[in-house]
Amino acid sequence: MRLWSLHPKYLDAKGLTALWREGLLAQKVLQGETKGYRNHPQLLRFKECPDCQGAIGTYLHYVWQEGTRRNYNFSREKILFYGEDIKLEVTRGQVFYEFILLLEKLKTRDKGKYGELFSIKEVDVHPMFSVKEGIVESWERVH
């Protein structure tokens, strides 16, 4: 499971559809509807939010928006809770780590998207996040 801190616009088709599916899985996990993934590190920042259901719903809302922009058929009705005022923080180190990770994936999976993103200097984050100074997040499994 990877719940990117990066703006969904950077993901290729495979990455965006995977993010939608994994976000929906995360929503089920946070509702207590699964036996697996309950302790997955990608969920920690959502679990720490006082409104974890609203946080994952807000996260999914912006993924849905990107899918709609690309004419994908993501079902808005699958998002159970949503609140535009829910914001989470992410460290600059985490954003950098994720961007490098994405580039590595795209290098083999989608060379066109890789070429498009390779020269980006300022990386946009998912709209529900604000960036703070810091290293890679403690919940990240660095490879």
Provide CB contacts within 8 A for 138, sequence distance 6+. Answer: none
pTM, entire model? 0.93
- In whole angstroms, what is the distance from residue 89 CA to residue 116 CA? 27
Residue 82 is predicted with a pLDDT of 81
Given a contact cutoff of 8 angstroms between Cβ atoms, the answer to whether 60 and 27 are in contact is yes
Is residue 68 in a domain? yes
Is residue 141 in a domain? no
Q: Is it the case that residue 112 has pLDDT exceeding 90?
A: yes
Is residue 138 in a domain? no
Q: Is it the case that residue 48 has pLDDT exceeding 90?
A: yes
Q: Which residue shows structure tokens 């703006």?
A: 7
The domain total for the chain is 1
Residue 115 structural domain: 8-132
User: Where residue 38 falls among pLDDT bands split at 50, 70, 90?
Assistant: confident
Residue 17 is predicted with a pLDDT of 98
Is residue 142 in a domain? no
User: Where residue 142 falls among pLDDT bands split at 50, 70, 90?
Assistant: confident
